[in-house]
């Protein structure tokens, strides 16, 4: 790997850390230690890392069920993360939310839902409250390209533009909704739709590059802090594994492994892993400690079942 500046190196390291964490989930999954379905972010880590590096501590992210990367990039506790996935009481939601319902308000991660697109409206409401109170935080609504087909997005684009609230609509476009390709389910032009509401729209093709995501997101976020108006960012990315679960899924026939090859050639995680073995050792040690802690933690007792609801 050619010499890189320290900022870029740190960003790529953060991407690799997330990937290694999810690879540990893959290794554990057949044992049934993980107590919930998992939607892995492998291949899409750069979006979360670049975006989170552009935000302030007071900013809030409303994530979706493929939320591991956002939670971890935002500084989420790793031991509490594994406890949550294993149904242990030391989990961030006491083991009751699982992989698809991560929430960490202390770090600005405002919660996820298994329902596609359902947290977009939450971001709008929070941003409106922020404006009424005269505060200057930025709010991120994070969703996939499949969620752009939901009526809630259109309603929220309209409301965000009408009330001029500081929401960054962040679309991670991996071209897939489960097994359905984008051309099978979308007739509209997303850029034209967003611009119809008078919202600035930017697109990043290099979704493997956390530095590119950081620089573009920073431009949008800095502008939002000045004028308090919404922006829309679509990042083209690539999901390496199946929609839900730890496996590869090329045997289903809806895509071929070769389709991922060009993206993988540009993915800096692979060269980082081979170039910085001591960093990988440190990451592995951290992960193993977190897994050990979680496995020694108590399962959430039945007495907690009807609390916090």
- Could you tell me if residue 302 is inside a domain? no
217 three-class SS: helix
- Whole-number pLDDT of residue 263: 95
- Could you tell me if residue 305 is inside a domain? no
177 three-class SS: strand
Question: Which residue segment(s) compose the domain that 87 sits in?
Answer: 6-297
- Could you tell me if residue 95 is inside a domain? yes
Question: What is the C-alpha to C-alpha distance for residues 69 and 87, in angstroms, rounded to an integer?
Answer: 19
- Could you tell me if residue 309 is inside a domain? no
Q: Which residues of the chain have pLDDT under 50?
A: 1-2
Helices marked H in the chain — which ranges?
6-28, 45-53, 68-73, 78-85, 120-132, 151-163, 190-196, 210-227, 261-266, 268-275, 277-296
Question: What is the C-alpha to C-alpha distance for residues 158 and 206, in angstroms, rounded to an integer?
Answer: 28
Lookup: tokens for 56: 């302030």
- Could you tell me if residue 181 is inside a domain? yes
- Whole-number pLDDT of residue 5: 85
Number of domains making up the chain: 1
- How confident is the model over 10-56, as pLDDT tens digits? 999 999 999 999 999 999 999 999 988 999 999 999 999 999 999 99
- How confident is the model over 116-128, as pLDDT tens digits? 999 999 999 999 9
- Whole-number pLDDT of residue 4: 65
- Could you tell me if residue 304 is inside a domain? no
- Whole-number pLDDT of residue 35: 82
The residue whose two tokens read 């489960």 is: 178
- Could you tell me if residue 306 is inside a domain? no
pTM of the model: 0.95
- Could you tell me if residue 220 is inside a domain? yes
Question: What is the C-alpha to C-alpha distance for residues 41 and 116, in angstroms, rounded to an integer?
Answer: 16
CATH number of 258's domain: 3.40.50.970
- Whole-number pLDDT of residue 2: 47
Question: What is the C-alpha to C-alpha distance for residues 244 and 116, in angstroms, rounded to an integer?
Answer: 14
């Amino acid at each position: 790997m050619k010499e890189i500046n320290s900022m870029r190196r740190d960003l790529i390291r953060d991407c690799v850390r997330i990937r290694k964490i999810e690879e540990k989930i893959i290794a554990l999954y057949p044992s049934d230690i993980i107590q919930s379905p998992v939607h892995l972010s492998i291949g899409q880590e750069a979006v979360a890392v670049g975006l989170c590096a552009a935000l302030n501590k007071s900013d809030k992210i409303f994530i979706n069920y493929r939320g591991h990367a956002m939670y971890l990039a935002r500084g989420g506790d790793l031991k509490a993360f594994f406890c949550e996935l294993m149904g242990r009481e030391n989990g961030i939601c006491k083991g009751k939310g699982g992989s698809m319902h991560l929430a960490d308000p202390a770090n600005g991660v405002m919660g996820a839902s298994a329902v596609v697109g359902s947290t977009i409206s939450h971001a709008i409401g929070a941003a409106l409250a922020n404006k009424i109170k005269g505060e200057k935080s930025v709010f991120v609504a994070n969703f996939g390209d499949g969620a752009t087909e939901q009526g809630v997005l259109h309603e929220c684009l309209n409301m965000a533009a009408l009330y001029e609230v500081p929401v960054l609509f962040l679309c991670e476009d991996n071209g897939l909704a489960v097994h359905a390709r984008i051309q099978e389910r979308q007739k509209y032009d997303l850029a034209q739709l967003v611009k119809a509401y008078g919202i600035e729209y930017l697109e990043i093709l290099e979704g493997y590059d956390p530095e590119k995501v950081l620089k573009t997101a920073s431009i949008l976020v800095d502008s939002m802090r000045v004028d308090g108006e919404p922006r829309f960012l679509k990042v083209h990315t690539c999901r390496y594994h199946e929609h839900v679960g730890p496996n590869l899924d090329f045997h289903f026939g809806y895509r071929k492994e070769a389709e991922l090859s060009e993206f993988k050639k540009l993915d800096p995680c692979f060269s980082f892993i081979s170039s910085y073995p001591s960093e990988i050792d440190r990451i592995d040690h951290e992960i193993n400690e977190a897994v050990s802690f979680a496995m020694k933690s108590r399962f959430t007792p039945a007495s907690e079942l009807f609390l916090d609801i």
